[in-house]
Amino acid sequence: MPAIVLVGAQWGDEGKGKATDLLGGKVDYVVRYQGGNNAGHTVVIGDKSYALHLLPSGILSPDVVPVIGNGVVIDPGVLLHEIEGLMARGVDCSRLLISANAHLIMPHHRALDKVSERYLGKARIGTTGRGIGPAYGDKIARMGVRIQDLFDPGILQKKVELSLREKNQVLTKVYNRRPMLVEPIVEEYLAYGERLRPYVANTELIVNQALDAGKVVLLEGAQGTLLDVDHGTYPFVTSSSPTAGGACAGSGVGPTKVTGVIGILKAYTTRVGSGPFPTELLDDMGEYLRTTGGEYGVTTGRDRRCGWFDAVIARYAARVNGVTDFFLTKLDVLSGLEEIPICVAYDVEGVRHDEMPSNQTDFHHAKPVLEILPGWREDITGAKTFDDLPPNAQAYVRRLEELSGARISAIGVGPGRDQTLTLR
Ligand code: 2SA
Ligand code: GDP
Ligand code: MG
């Protein structure tokens, strides 16, 4: 019966893909509940690496039913390309289920995302340019196109017409771009519909029936807590709800079914795109973490901004998600450092903040209050148990746990499936 939520505790890229894949051996369904192909989830199995964008990470476990939930925005061309790419590598995608209620990313959404970012100049969000914001905008404005509309040419035609009537005004009058034409879009999307038809289902019903039958369902989030449109560093956020609350809305599973929330927490912090980042390192150490941790966008290839671990953020994530367990990832990346600073609180214009300030300007001005912990020299990538870790690495994990507001029940010491220590 239980549903378990897996959520990013920072600004995304904490290693959710690896954690989901790992849990794939213990769950029956994996449901992606928000975001779109802005996400990049990496799973390393043996000598093979898979970069997933729209497909749930459970696709790589043969006994799991992977589901794209109603809360996801789908670029159908990208999804088909991803399915074909995986099938060419021998991954069976036939079990995939796609919610008929999921919304579609349309060509005008991609165009508007890119052009609006260009016009924002220095104030840009630093989006992935995949059309995410405009697609969710249409959903909330009640003029979105859904997967089920692909199977009704009349409705699809009307919806594209309606959407373009407004979007073409914006594209031509505000952004000085050429208008987009209805017919080619309708034709293109009807063809996608035919190819996606075998996967489309009433996933909200199927997942709940599975829960009633005693199956275990993992609700997989993309991005992270601080990119949440409500709880993140607004406006430098994505346009969906990665936090645990979003898991219910984006899958159709009621909150009484959720028995656990796993927060994925990196042993340091990264962020892609614009916006405040109190522990950011703009020096050689930032570059060191980027190269050692391989911190480059899985979708766009952009450099990720890097900084020290921030316990204020971890506590905030524990709170807004109701985290029951943290999985700490990439501890191995810190091996070899003499000392490792961690942020325990913020100093905002001389005032100490132990908790996340609710005022955005305060967060912009937050300076980290650092505590310095001793590092370790040993390579830990082969560690199999917590006791195999050097004492200083153990102390680092214990201190993070003390500060973060929930227990740490797994530790990543490398990208591979077998490079995870379980604590409980
Ligand atoms: P968008 O495209 O509208 O969702 O962008 C809004 C903000 O959300 C951030 N965002 C992300 N942050 C971290 N990782 C993401 N996925 C990719 C990855 C990112 C990439 O796994 O590496 O390849 O660049 C992701 N997706 C969205 C984005 O940077 C904006 O700050
Ligand atoms: P996601 O978006 O949260 O799924 O994370 P990404 O895939 O964007 O980025 C996480 C990166 O870290 C990927 O390249 C993973 O293979 C890698 N990774 C995950 N866990 C670990 C770990 O414990 N150690 C190391 N060195 N790499 C890890
Ligand atoms: Mg990622």
pLDDT digits (tens, 9 = 90+) for 153-203: 999 999 999 999 999 999 999 999 999 999 999 999 999 999 999 999 999
Share of the chain above pLDDT 90, in %: 97
Pick the closest to residue 7 from 309, 320, 312 (CA basis).
320
Q: Which ligand 1 atom is nearest residue 127's CA?
A: 5
Dihedrals phi, psi of 416, to nearest 5 degrees: -70, 155
Q: Which residue has its alpha carbon closest to ligand 1 atom 30?
A: 127
Q: Which ligand 2 atom is nearest residue 17's CA?
A: 4
- Spot the catalytic one: 13, 75, 138, 310: 13
Q: Which residue has its alpha carbon closest to ligand 1 atom 8?
A: 238
CA of 169 to the centre of ligand 2 (A): 42
Sign of the torsion angle spanned by Cα atoms 230, 327, 261, 312: negative
pLDDT means per 10 residues, the chain with 424 residues, are: 94 94 90 97 92 94 96 98 97 97 98 95 96 98 97 97 95 94 98 98 98 97 98 98 98 98 98 97 98 96 97 98 98 98 98 96 97 98 97 98 96 94 87
Out of 330, 400, 408, 422, give the residue to mutate to test ligand 2, the one with the largest number of ligand atoms within 8 Å of its CB. Answer: 330
Ligand nearest the Cα of residue 415 is 2
Name residue 42's beta-bridge partners: 51
* β-pair type (103-104, 73-74): parallel
User: Using a 6 Å CB cutoff, which residues line ligand 1?
Assistant: 11-13, 38-40, 125-128, 130, 132-133, 223, 227, 236, 238-239, 272-273, 297-300, 302
Q: Which residue has the tokens 């703009």?
A: 282
Q: How many whole angstroms separate alpha carbon 18 and alpha carbon 409? A: 15
CA of 289 to the centre of ligand 3 (A): 16
Ligand nearest the Cα of residue 294 is 2
- Spot the catalytic one: 21, 28, 41, 109: 41
Ligand nearest the Cα of residue 41 is 2
The pLDDT value recorded for residue 1 is 60
Measured between its terminal Cα atoms, the distance across the chain in Å is 21
Q: What is the 3-state secondary structure (H, E, C) of the chain?
A: CCEEEEEECCCCCCCHHHHHHHHCCCCCEEEECCCCCCCCEEEEECCEEEEECCCCHHHHCCCCEEEECCCCEECHHHHHHHHHHHHHCCCCCCCCEEECCCEECCHHHHHHHHHHHHHHHHHCCCCCCCCHHHHHHHHHCCCCCEHHHHHCHHHHHHHHHHHHHHHHHHHHHHCCCCCCCHHHHHHHHHHHHHHHHHHEECHHHHHHHHHHCCCCEEEECCCCHHHCCCCCCCCCCCCCCCCHHHHHHCCCCCHHHEEEEEEEEECCEEECCCCCCCCECCCHHHHHHHHHHCCECCCCCCECEEECEEHHHHHHHHHHHCCCEEEEECHHHHCCCCEEEEEEEEEECCEEECCCCCCHHHHHCCEEEEEEEECCCCCCCCCCCHHHCCHHHHHHHHHHHHHHCCEEEEEECCCECCCEEECC
Instruction: Check: pTM over 0.90? Answer yes or no.
Output: yes
Token output for 336: 């070899």
- Whether 41 is a known active-site residue: answer yes
Contact 327, 419 (CB under 8 A): no
CA of 14 to the centre of ligand 2 (A): 6
CB burial readout 363-383, b (16+ within 10 A) else e: beebebbeeebebbeeebeeb
Nearby residues of 127 by Cβ (< 8 Å), 6 or more positions away: 38, 113, 117, 133, 238, 273
Q: What is the CA radius of gyration of the chain?
A: 21
Q: How many whole angstroms separate alpha carbon 174 and alpha carbon 168? A: 9
Amino acid at 420: T
CA of 220 to the centre of ligand 3 (A): 12
Q: Which residue has its alpha carbon closest to ligand 1 atom 22?
A: 297
Q: Which ligand 2 atom is nearest residue 49's CA?
A: 16
User: Using a 6 Å CB cutoff, which residues line ligand 2?
Assistant: 8, 12-18, 40-42, 44, 294, 298, 329-330, 332-333, 412-415
CB burial readout 1-30, b (16+ within 10 A) else e: eebbbbbbbbbbbbbbbbbbbbbbeebbbb
Pick the closest to residue 267 from 298, 226, 311 (CA basis).
311
CA of 251 to the centre of ligand 3 (A): 20
The pLDDT value recorded for residue 417 is 87
Q: Which residue has its alpha carbon closest to ligand 2 atom 14?
A: 42
Name residue 8's beta-bridge partners: 264
Contact 201, 98 (CB under 8 A): yes
Q: Which residue has its alpha carbon closest to ligand 2 atom 13?
A: 42
Q: Which ligand 2 atom is nearest residue 411's CA?
A: 23
Q: Which residue has its alpha carbon closest to ligand 1 atom 28?
A: 127
Ligand nearest the Cα of residue 17 is 2
* β-pair type (305-307, 269-271): antiparallel
